[in-house]
Amino acid sequence: MIILKKFNNNAVVVDKNGHEIVVMGNGLGFGVSKGDVVDINKIEKTFVLTESNQNILIILFPMYLLNI
């Protein structure tokens, strides 16, 4: 899994088979940057956005902020 974005020392966004996944673990983001390979032994939690979650997020997002 390749790091796409670092949130902090404990959370990063990774690319896994073309999907963006948020992974968390103690020190997981420490000393790494975009493009590095994540240490899978440090992963404690994994968060995946599914299609149903995306629809809910769009509904909850205020329409006036979308500039449509």
pLDDT of residue 16: 87
Whole-prediction pTM? 0.70
Q: Give residue 62's pLDDT band: very low, low, confident or very high (50, 70, 90).
A: low
One-character DSSP codes across 2-67: EEEEEEETTEEEEEETTEEEEEE-TTTTTT--TTPBP-GGG--EEEE--HHHHHHHHHHS-GGGGT
List, for residues 11-55, the tens digit of each pLDDT value: 999 998 888 889 999 999 999 999 999 998 999 998 887 665 555
